[in-house]
Amino acid sequence: MARVAAVDCGTNSIRLLIADVAARADGSLELTDVVREMVVVRLGEGVDRTGEFSAAALTRTFAAVDGYAALCREHGVESIRFVATSATRDAGNREQFLDGVRGRLGVTPEVISGEEEAALSFRGATAVLDPAHDAPFLVIDLGGGSTEVVLGVDAPEAAHSMDVGCVRMTERHLAGDPPSTSQVEAAERDIHAALDAAFEGVPVERTRTLVGLAGTVTTVTAHALGLPEYDSETLDGAVLPIEDAIRACDELLVASRHERAALGFMHPGRVDVIGAGALVWRTVMTRVRDAVVAAGGELPHVVTSEHDILDGLALAVAEPLLASRA
């Protein structure tokens, strides 16, 4: 067994997974959570406009990293992998961020490509997916600055990362509370254009199971299920009729900030960006379903997963440790 840590620093949040990973008799790996934490730091705040991290965003993020470093020491972590995604790929002053993380956590952060992000998310989500779900799987990792679209069975066969996410779309288009019709239409044009490009390389019409990851998707699912508070166990693996998920997206998009904040399952750091996230998720679900139906198939449901890039990272960092002990 190996105890490892994975840190995923995105545009909106920074997340930590400390896990025990063991090899099963068949050679596959079993992952058991020790600690799973998330802090909304909004690292990518303003990056789409300015091209740089702000001092305030770096301060918030470094405070979270200090806390994660303490947790890793407390739990006796053997190896840590830290990845940064969309906002860090875009920021001109990213070296300041990378140096700050290195000094606090003792590891060199990896600024991974959208394609690698997609592959890690696919591995994390599908490793624990109910075997009753049919392949191919289309995994959608909807983040703050980017969204990954990846199709595969046992491994990714086609993937695309698009610069569309809940923070980026909020800052670029959805200034109203709630957003105006013209603001929503402008955002939709951006999302559809990005999906046009994504679908050129990812044959989404082959999808048999659509799997949604990350905070926007789990929040939409919590709303669709009418949960009084956030409940990871209920959300993980939840299967929703696509129409129910779309309806939940519509309701969150048109709600005011005050109405969203009053929802018991809503994380405070997601209140002002969930409308844009819901719009992205609604558009993705609709486009994928239409493509599948046009190809003669059906896609009545969507699966929500709490397992994502963090799980994929933890499995990847544990592999060489376990191999050295075999």
Angstrom distance (rounded) from CA 165 to CA 324: 39
142-181, pLDDT tens digit by residue? 988 889 999 999 889 999 989 899 989 999 999 999 999 9
Angstrom distance (rounded) from CA 287 to CA 164: 15
List beta partners, residue 213. 141, 305
pLDDT of residue 223: 98
Q: Which tokens belong to 284?
A: 């993705």
* CA atoms within 13 Å, Cβ hemisphere of 238: 26
234-246 mean pLDDT:
96
Among 80-94, 180-194, 277-291, the minimum mean pLDDT is found in 80-94
Answer yes or no: is pLDDT of 86 > 80: no
pLDDT of residue 62: 96
3-state helix/strand/coil string of 189-210: HHHHHHHHHHHHHCCHHHCCEE
pLDDT of residue 294: 97
Phi–psi pair at 194, nearest 5 degrees: -65, -40
Cα–Cα distances in Å, from 284 out to 34, 149, 173, 298? 33, 10, 18, 15
Indicate the residue type of 136. Answer: P
- Higher local confidence (pLDDT), 142 or 13: 142
pLDDT of residue 87: 65
93-144, pLDDT tens digit by residue? 888 989 999 999 999 888 888 778 888 889 889 988 888 999 999 999 998 8
Q: Which domains does the chain have, with CATH numbers?
A: 2-114+310-325 (3.30.420.40), 130-305 (3.30.420.150)
Angstrom distance (rounded) from CA 158 to CA 181: 34
Angstrom distance (rounded) from CA 38 to CA 274: 16
Using an 8 Å Cβ cutoff, are 284 and 211 in contact?
no
**Length of the chain measured in residues:** 326
Q: How many helices (H) and strands (E) does the chain have?
A: 13, 11
Task: Please report, rounded to a whole number, the percentage of residues in the chain having pLDDT higher than 70.
Answer: 99
Question: What is the overall mean pLDDT for the chain?
Answer: 92
pLDDT of residue 252: 97
26-42, pLDDT tens digit by residue? 878 888 999 999 898 98
pLDDT of residue 146: 87
Answer yes or no: is pLDDT of 49 > 90: no
| Residue-by-residue DSSP string for 270-294 | GTTTHHHHHHHHHHHHHHHHHHHHH
pLDDT of residue 291: 97
Q: Which tokens belong to 179?
A: 């957003």
195-229, pLDDT tens digit by residue? 999 999 999 999 999 999 989 999 999 999 999 99
Break the chain down into helix, strand, coil percent, rounded to 5.
50, 20, 30
231-257 mean pLDDT:
96
Cα–Cα distances in Å, from 96 out to 12, 62, 216, 299? 18, 11, 29, 45
Angstrom distance (rounded) from CA 206 to CA 138: 9
Q: Which tokens belong to 212?
A: 């949604």
Angstrom distance (rounded) from CA 311 to CA 127: 9
What sign has the CA pseudo-torsion 214, 220, 225, 227? positive
pLDDT of residue 238: 96
